[in-house]
Amino acid sequence: MKKIVIIFVFSLLLVILNNSLVIRAYTTPSPELQTIQLKSRSIEYESSGKLLSELIKLFYEERNYNPAWCSQTEIYPQAYILLKIIKEADREGLDPSAYYYSLISNYVRELENKIIRNSSITREVALSFELLMTKVYLDYTLDLLTGYTRNGMFNKMYDKHELIKKLNRAIEQESLGKFFIDLYPGQELYFRMRKALSHLRNISSKDWPRVGYGPPLQRGDYSKRIIELRRRLYLSGDLSEEQLNTGTYFDRELEKAVRKFQRRHGLKDSGIVDDKTIEALNIPVKEKINKIIINMERLRWLPRDNPDLCVMVNIPEYKLKVIREDKVILESKVIVGSRENQTPSFNDSIEYIVLNPYWYIPDNITRYELLPQIKKDPDYLDKHNIQILSGFEGEVKIIPEDQINWDEVTPENFSYKLRQKPGPGNSLGSIKFLFPNDFNVYLHDTPSRGLFEYRERALSHGCIRVERPLELAKVLISQSNWSYNEVISIINSGNREVIELKNPVPIYLIYLTVWVDDDGVIHYREDIYQRDKKLVHEMMKKAVNDS
């Protein structure tokens, strides 16, 4: 009974201060139980806690305060279904203990024993169980819908009254399983990630061999280390079973497997097993599992709408994809923000295409990168087609550069703005794609085409340079009154033009260090901004250990 008392006290703390609920089945005939004050003075609620309390209140209002999970003589079928679902929460990369699986299991056993002995469940215990199950139901729903670490985004993305109706409908129709599946991110990628997570968990850590360091291994070599290499590549699906036990010789098939592994990990596919390749081979299975878990979490942050046309940029992959009706119709290399000037992750919609754009140079670039060049070379501004402006808003004046005493200018006192005119040397190239946002981030062309040949392309000040901007424009102008030939004509004329998209196109700037392609192949990329460790910490911090 000790655990029941603990759970009862815990449950009474679930609803926000001074909120009272009357659960009909537990309040008659005892007058003292007709109104139960559920207070939370001992809990400091964060935004997600306040949201949960509000949802609990709405949940029972929608039900006319009828219980959802048990009566004093019966545990309802949907309670068992929910218990089974949270037991399998690890399939979603979530921790069953965060949903009090062990506590609820013990609770159910004690309640079942009472029912078997024809001993009715007390009103207090029934209410305790009822509220705990509702908390778990709502917690799990929010975690699938907005992400385990992003419950606070719910109000910006979803309607709580509509959600409550769906929650209660799923209970009445005994369709909790289908309800939760419908909450998954719409991308097929999420289901492929679930499958990959299950696969890696089936590989025991002791069966994941380490490949020893030594001289680089390549085709034609003999080495005992090749036995370890074959075993390791077989377990990750890069080498076929037929090639597993073919000795210590580095043959053509092994070279193919090494190249495949290198491509999957964003390494140079040389076919040579160097130190960097060995380092990637020796990443423990547990770490790879954690990477899949946190990237499934990132997918849950995405909106649940499934647009016919969208643009997706995966920052660590340095890749842009245009997706139409769930099919990739365009891929392009991109250059993203450096480690010092990171490209943020967020969702928005492309609203405008600007042909032959001006580049309004950010102040930090002006003060700390261009000013030293300008002071060193009096002709720098003319050479780079840059104008000096009195400001960006209202009446903008172009200031002749000879009116400025450059000897007295410092990064701290320079009050003007710089703007680069359209032209062949413009840093934005011939076209940019705008999705107005607080980060001042956008997609654009670039005259520095050679940088796309680099394997690691975290090189910009935060905006995203696109290798194939005209092909991207060709797809997006289908949402405008313009033709592709008109776009090319304007670009060739050198005139600035703004195209407004009648139907803005959703764009997702995502940060996936792991994903699974259409063929079921798992890909890994370097955590260029060191965001993975932070997310692992956030997820572990939120998890509750009830063992």
CB 461 within 8 A of CB 362: yes
Q: Which bin fits 438, alpha (ψ -120 to 50), beta or left (φ > 0)?
A: alpha
Q: Which value, to the nearest 10 degrees, does the dihedral of the CA atoms of residues 38, 44, 45, 46 take?
A: 180
Beta-carbon contacts of residue 53 (< 8 Å; ≥ 6 apart): 14, 15, 16, 19, 40, 45
**Predicted local distance difference test score (pLDDT) of residue 431:** 98
Please give the pLDDT value at position 392: 61
- Residue 29 DSSP label: S
Q: What is the C-alpha R_g of the chain?
A: 30
The predicted pLDDT at position 326 comes to 85
Backbone angles phi, psi at 286, to 5 degrees: -60, -40
* DSSP letter for each residue of 326-375: TEEEEEEEEEEE-SSSPPPPEEEEEEEEEES--EEE-HHHIIIIIHHHHH
At a CB cut-off of 8 Å and minimum separation 6, what does 191 contact?
Answer: 184
CA-based nearest residue to 444, from 384, 344, 357: 357
For the chain, give the number of residues.
547
Q: State how far the Cα of 176 lies from the Cα of 135, in Å rounded to an integer.
A: 15
* Per-residue pLDDT tens digits for 225-251: 999 999 999 999 999 999 998 889 999
Q: What is the pLDDT of residue 378?
A: 87
Written as six digits, the tokens of 207 are 């069966």
Cβ–Cβ under 8 Å, residues 511 and 298: yes
Identified catalytic residue from 161, 384, 463, 537: 463
- Among candidates 365, 411, 358, 417, which has minimal Cα distance to 392? 417
Q: Give me the domains of the chain, ranges plus CATH numbers.
A: 43-184 (no CATH), 209-283 (1.10.101.10), 358-421 (no CATH)
pTM above 0.75, yes or no: yes
Q: Would you give the distance in Å from CA 30 to the centre of its chain?
A: 50
pLDDT value at residue 394: 63
DSSP state of 448: -
Structure tokens at 106: 């013990």
In order along its 547 residues, the chain shows pLDDT tens digits of: 444 434 443 444 444 333 445 565 554 433 322 322 232 222 223 334 678 889 999 999 999 999 999 988 899 999 999 999 999 999 999 999 989 999 999 889 988 988 888 877 788 888 889 999 999 999 999 999 998 888 767 777 889 999 999 999 999 999 999 999 999 987 789 999 999 999 999 987 677 889 999 999 999 999 999 999 999 999 999 999 999 988 899 999 999 999 999 999 999 999 999 999 999 999 999 999 999 999 999 999 998 888 999 999 999 999 999 999 989 999 999 999 999 999 999 999 999 999 999 999 999 999 999 999 999 998 999 999 999 998 666 677 899 988 898 889 899 999 899 999 999 999 999 999 999 999 999 999 999 999 999 999 999 999 999 999 999 999 999 999 999 999 999 999 999 999 999 999 999 999 999 999 989 999 999 999 999 999 998 888 776 433 3
* Alpha carbon of residue 317 to chain centroid: 14
Active site residue 444: yes
Q: Is 463 a catalytic residue?
A: yes
Residue in this structure with the two tokens 């647009």, named with its chain if needed: 307
Please state whether beta strands 464-466 and 443-444 pair in parallel, antiparallel, or not at all (unpaired). parallel
Q: Exactly one of 444, 461, 523, 537 is catalytic; which is it?
A: 444
The whole-number pLDDT of residue 463 equals 98
Residue 72 CA, chain-centre distance (Å), reads 43
Instruction: Decide: 398 and 460 in contact? Cβ < 8 Å.
Output: no
DSSP, res 66: -
E strand or H helix that includes residue 257? helix 252-264
- Rounded to whole angstroms, the Cα distance separating 258 from 271 reads 5
Burial class (CB in 10 A: 0-12, 13-18, 19+), 547: exposed
Strands, DSSP E only, in 376-495?
A: 386-389, 417-420, 431-434, 443-444, 458-460, 464-466
Residue 439 CA to residue 418 CA, distance in Å, equals: 19
